[in-house]
Amino acid sequence: MSERKGLHEKAKEEMRLSERILAELPGFRGYKEREIRRETDKLVRNHMYLKLTEARKDLKEVFQKLSDRRLYEVLTDMDRFIMRFDRVAEKINHASYGYAGFFNVLKIEEEKLDKMVTFDGGLIDYVQKIIEETNVFKGEVMKQEFERVREHLQKLSDSLESLEKTFDERGETILGGEIKWLR
């Protein structure tokens, strides 16, 4: 988790001199801190989206290989999974920029923003798991090993469901709900 926290700290350290001077002005400091947190959120979500996009390309290659081999019994499930995968990736990509949607209505404390940055960083772990599972799946299919296709598809589906469920908890985090795995 410290690596994820480091992204926020690094952004603060790399502020230009003019930004540092302005950050010392009353009222501006909190504004700038929030902006840095929002930018950090956007960077984390962009990173997740790019990784998911790469995994999607691999999944499309797997789909093509399964189609070439005429493994019709799994093509429908694979097609549905890829559609769901796209939906989740786009949900992450188009989530409220830096929590802006919430800020229009609610005042969010800096502590909650820090918790949100940590939360979003934890989502990267789910994305990484999906990437690893995709790589194993693709590797086997490219070697013409089709015995475990359904098993891989189920594991990926479960991981994607976990990612989506956890991502959907973001709003709860902002609104003050507790997240079990951050306690």
How far is it, in rounded angstroms, from Cα 108 to Cα 175? 8
Q: What would you measure as the largest C-alpha separation in the chain, in angstroms? A: 67
pLDDT cut 90: percent of the chain above it: 46
**Per-residue confidence at 113, pLDDT binned at 50, 70, 90?**
low
One-letter identity of residue 139: G
Residue 30 has pLDDT above 50, yes or no: yes
Residue 96 has pLDDT above 90, yes or no: no
**pLDDT for the residue 43:** 84
Q: Is the dihedral of CA 140, 141, 144, 147 positive or negative?
A: positive
What's the mean pLDDT in 33-52? 82
What's the mean pLDDT in 29-41? 68
DSSP 71: -
One-letter identity of residue 114: D
**pLDDT for the residue 39:** 78
pLDDT in tens, 68-89: 999 999 999 999 999 999 999 9
Which ranges of the chain does DSSP label H, i.e. alpha helix?
2-13, 17-23, 28-68, 72-93, 100-103, 110-142, 149-168, 170-174
Q: What is the mean pLDDT of the chain?
A: 79
pLDDT in tens, 130-176: 999 999 999 999 999 999 999 999 999 999 999 999 888 876 765 55
Between 136 and 37, whose confidence is greater? 136
